[in-house]
Amino acid sequence: MSLLQNLLFLILIQVLSCTLSISAFSQPLSPPCGYENVVSNKYIDGRYFEKGIYVVNAFGISCTEILGNDGLFSLFLSLPDNSPLPTPWISLSEAVGEPKFSAGTGIGFRVQKVSELIFSLGVLQNRLKDTISTDAQASNAIITVGASSDGGETTKVKFTSDENVIITAKIYPDAKYVGQEGELYIVMRTTENGKKFYQALNEDGIWEFWNTSLKSLNAAKYVNALKNAEEIAIYSGRMTVGQRLIYIGYSLFTNDKPVITTNLTPYKIEVYQ
């Protein structure tokens, strides 16, 4: 083999090695931990984070140490712009792909923006506090909801009976369920004149009385493949005087009783005369 051929061969090996290492390093780690909100544009250790919903992947560290109000990512977001990270954490600014943070060899996490944060069908959204499944398992899903009577310019939870109310929601499923066949559910508990009753939104957009049995609960929407964010309209029009507690959820598609992930704390609407 000539000297020129040897040089070309070595260059080719280096290019292939670099390409393979970059490709492998830039692929999403599996399985993802879940999602986190970045509620305003932020710089973390010199790296710009645009507000939105971010999916989190961990390596060598538990997801519970990263997620939530007391997690590492929330801690990093709470620091003043461009402040150094707490020891031993560093940001891997030279790493290929999405932002990554490391506390040593093989320990760290990465985040990637997957969706805009707060607008859904023109209505500002609020994140509901906790999600849980009907088999009592904790969930990393995120559910946001908002209500407005001025076309989405402002949101509120107290209305008069002559206002036209729009309520919309977004569901961010657990990352492990994205791409699977699923169904979305909307349930409303209404209290009028001291009497309580439940209704569920069906696929025709009609509110049906519900007997609180999961076997009889109709889905509001069938989804062929769950996306990172599922948007759904809940209500549009005037409401009678009373209180509404709204639950939003999703499940994988099944012909049996579904296991539904929903908000533990309901979204409360009050309507006055």
**Average pLDDT of each block of 10 consecutive residues along the chain (273 residues)?**
36 33 35 75 87 84 85 89 90 77 92 66 77 89 90 86 89 93 97 94 90 93 93 88 96 93 94 94
Which pair of tokens denotes residue 95? Answer: 């790493």
Q: Considering only CA atoms, which of 211, 209, 266, 218 is closest in space to residue 243?
A: 266
Distance, in Å, from the CA atom of 210 to the CA atom of 101, rounded to the nearest integer, reads 47
Beta-strand (E) ranges in 67-206? Answer: 90-91, 100-104, 107-115, 119-120, 123-124, 126-127, 131-133, 142-148, 158-160, 165-172, 182-192, 195-201
Domain range summary for the chain, segments of one domain joined by +:
29-115, 119-272
- pLDDT, residue 32, reads 77
- pLDDT, residue 30, reads 46
Taking the CA of residue 38 as centre, how many other CA atoms within 13 Å lie in the half-sphere pointing to its CB? 24
Distance, in Å, from the CA atom of 78 to the CA atom of 67, rounded to the nearest integer, reads 14
The CATH number assigned to the domain with range 119-272 reads 2.60.40
Q: Look at the block and give the residue holding tokens 């809940």.
A: 234
Q: Give the angle 104-107-112 at the CA atoms, nearest 5°.
A: 115
Beta-strand (E) ranges in 106-141? Answer: 107-115, 119-120, 123-124, 126-127, 131-133
Hey, what amino acid is at 2?
A: S
Query: CB of 167 within 8 A of CB of 126?
Result: no
- pLDDT, residue 246, reads 97
